[in-house]
Each structure stands twice: as C-alpha cells, then as structure tokens.
Amino acid sequence: MSDLSRLPIENTSTQAEESIVSFQAEIPLNLEMAMKRYIEMHPNWDQYRLVQAALAGFLVQNGVNSRPITRLFIENMFSNTSVNS
C-alpha cells in the first residue's frame, strides 16, 4: 500500500505559477521492475514523466474535468523530452 509523505513545496519558473509537490510511495516490486524496463526501452521517459502521465491519465479517465490536468497528461504523452531535461 502507499505510504505518502509530503516534502517541501518548490515553486517552478514556468509560464503559469505552478507548484511541485514531492512524495514518496511504496510500490510493489513487479510494478517498479516494469517501470524500470519501460524507461530503459524509452530513453525520452524518466520516472517523473511516467508517474505524472500515469496520475494525470488516471484522473482524466476517471472524470476529473481540469484543463491543467488534461494539458499535463497530453504534454507527457506526446513530448519528446523527459521532465528533467
């Protein structure tokens, strides 16, 4: 199960004022291994982009009607660069 703990919020310098919240989560070993294999096979993805796309996609598919969340999902799915590039 997830054990989320919030760390300090950092402001980013993007066009719109956004905040980034870091968290830690325990995930099953098989999920971690699948994530690592995917990232190894797709070098333009990193763990941050993968988690952001997964969370945003889940929210969009489950009825969250938010333009910023939809934009984040689309940007992660169709961008050629990783989040940290």
Distance, CA of 34 to CA of 14 (rounded, Å): 31
Question: Which pLDDT belongs to residue 76?
Answer: 86
Distances in whole angstroms, Cα of residue 67 to Cα of each of 21, 49, 59: 19, 18, 12
Residues 39-78 have pLDDT tens digits of: 999 988 999 889 989 999 999 999 999 999 999 889 888 8
Alpha helices in 1-85 (DSSP H): 29-41, 47-61, 67-78
Residues 2-52 have pLDDT tens digits of: 344 443 434 444 444 568 888 888 999 999 999 999 999 998 899 988 998
Terminal Cα-to-Cα distance of the chain (whole angstroms): 31
Distance, CA of 81 to CA of 44 (rounded, Å): 5
Question: Which pLDDT belongs to residue 63?
Answer: 93
